[in-house]
Amino acid sequence: PVLQEVNNLFGDDIYRYALIVLTFEDYLSDSTVEEFLKANTELKEFSKKTGDKCIAFNNSLENGSEEASEQRKRFFVYLDAILRQNDEQPLQRKGACAQCCVRLCSCCRLCLTWCKQIINGDR
């Protein structure tokens, strides 16, 4: 499983740095993020170990809308808190090759593009 691979690469330090980002919150319909997490025991366990640092994004919001702006602000508040908690020190991978971390995302890598868009304010 991916979450175990993340732990293997970074050790237990990962939990201090981790922020679970859920996209397409709008697809949950009548369910809540909490219900979604409960349904996935591996993800729920990972969430508990991170101190329940989880944020969900509604992808149907219009760019530039107040709600989209609030989502972006919440994301950066979380990131800032994580940096402060860790004295602004980067997480170090166990072992040698830091480039191996790119392997973690085995999907289409859209999440990396999406994060860049958030940082640039395009989302």
What ranges do the domains of the chain cover?
Answer: 2-119
Residue with tokens 């991978």: 93
Q: Which token pair is 79? A: 């990131």
DSSP helix/strand/coil, 107: coil
Contact 86, 53 (CB under 8 A): no
If you average pLDDT over residues 19-31, what whole number do you get?
Answer: 89
42-94 residue pLDDT tens: 889 999 999 999 999 999 999 899 999 999 999 989 888 888 888 877 777 66
| First-last CA distance in the chain | 29
Q: Assess whether pLDDT exceeds 80 at residue 30.
A: yes
The predicted pLDDT at position 53 comes to 92
State percent of the chain over pLDDT 90.
28
State the Cα–Cα distance between residues 27 and 35, nearest whole angstrom. 13
Bridge partners, 21 (sequence order): 55
Contact 81, 52 (CB under 8 A): no
The predicted pLDDT at position 97 comes to 45
Q: What is the mean pLDDT of the chain?
A: 79
Bridge partners, 54 (sequence order): 20
Query: Which is the CATH superfamily of the domain at 2-119?
Result: P-loop containing nucleotide triphosphate hydrolases (3.40.50.300)
Confidence (pTM):
0.68
State the Cα–Cα distance between residues 36 and 55, nearest whole angstrom. 12
